[in-house]
Amino acid sequence: MFTSDTCKLSAKAARGDRNRQPVPASRRILDSLTKLAHFQMTLSYGGVTVPLSSLLANITSRAARVGVIGLGYVGLPLAITAARAGFTVTGFDTDPGKITAIDARKSYIEAVPDAVLADQVAADRFTATADFAALALCDVILICVPTPLTKHREPDLSFITRTCDDIAKTLRAGQVIVLESTTYPGTTDGPVKRILESTGLVSGKDFYLGFSPEREDPGNRAFDTSTIPKVVAGDGADAGRLVEAFYAAVVKTVVPVSSTATAEAVKLTENVFRAVNIALVNELKVIYEAMGVDIWEVIEAAKTKPFGYMPFYPGPGLGGHCIPIDPFYLTWKAREYDIPTRFIELAGEINAAMPRHVVSRLAEALDQRLGLALSRSKVLVIGLAYKKNVPDIRESPSLKLIELIEERGGQASYHDPFVAEIPKTRAYGALMGRKSVSLDEATVRSFDAVLIATDHDGLDYAGLAQWSPLIVDTRNVFARNNILADHVVKA
């Protein structure tokens, strides 16, 4: 590890085209080592001259110490993946509860089993701390902090800028800094670079800056952090090679692109694509609903076409840390160039309107089928998480559904086998502390209606169909399970 506080870099880099196609990580490592062996570069550490190739070798040999800032759904799996790849990793977080859990070898993220976490802690390859002064000991620093929206749907970079301020306090030459948080093109070589260079050190000369967008998908058992291809980019050719070499040592496939702005745009493009297509089927759902056509049957038939079609599914609204938020980072940035983003903003409006549409359908069904007003009804919401089989409630439409039901005078409770209690959230503080009710016949019969918001596997849907006088199904779970009943209404 290079941990001296006095470090000076003088370099003259050869330039050349690189293959931009995904290739096996092992081959990328060898290619990078071969290229760097020919560079006339030196690093001066406390008067000791070291070839820059040693910095790359330090990474590829796993001698570099890694720091991961933000130990949430992205940071913790990434930290453990790097530790399992042979690096010594220090995790940083401002939440003392996370540090305590890691010290006790208890994982709070489903993608990281307790046993896997315990193995890395026991082997001294992973530790966690709230002391950001320890960043001085890290050779590679990965930033995995939230990038939410403000009340006016504008980017909130406060977590990133505060993190960069912390890094700047101990920044030294020879460090590699990589942002993973989703953001608009120009963030890495804009505000992030400005804060770090305010120390007097220069990106590409003294330290190396990069961007690699996270691609976590909670609950997806087909992929994990190590098997999802990683898009990487650096602020300059030298940073690009170092960032690429690090991720090549951690994941199976790296996908280098030409600039950090391009890498930032890749992440936004992936999520805009999903947001727009989900908005399309949500709008089609409303249209076909009025026509008496089942959107779910339409999609099932349409996806039999072997080309030119990809199925997306409607729901009660968007949830998660990406799709409800990321497109607005692009629309905000586009305004700087006087470019309207009508298509993306329309998709956002359609998706944001879905919870109100669902509650309207619920109120209509209560009135027409039971002769009850929503204001005099008790509703059991099934599923608080934003997707099935995970405990993740970030931006969950279920929270909005509960709020809307109660705004109209109804009473709402929820059942979720993965979320025992509603934690503190930025937007729904009044719901904090509510607990999941049991799912049994007596409990279900005490409600006037059941609203399926999240279709977790393993729930007794057949029992729900018998016990509840009215079910509003936003996920088509009853039809998928061949449970056909007149009192099940799709929404």
**Catalytic residue, candidates 7, 144, 164, 322:** 322
Q: Active site includes 322?
A: yes
Nearest 10 degrees: Cα torsion 461, 465, 467, 473: 80
Q: Show the tokens assigned to 388.
A: 């099935």
Q: Which one, of 208, 212, 210, lies nearest residue 231 by Cα?
A: 212
| Residues whose CB is less than 8 angstroms from the CB of residue 47 and which lie 6 or more positions away in sequence, other chains included | none
Q: Which one, of 174, 171, 173, lies nearest residue 192 by Cα?
A: 171
Cα distance between residue 302 and residue 288, in whole Å:
14
Cα distance between residue 179 and residue 262, in whole Å:
13
Cα distance between residue 291 and residue 210, in whole Å:
51
Give, in order, the Cα–Cα distances in Å from 137 to each of 65, 91, 102, 175: 7, 12, 20, 10
Place of tokens 């070291």: 50
- Mind telling me the catalytic residues? 322
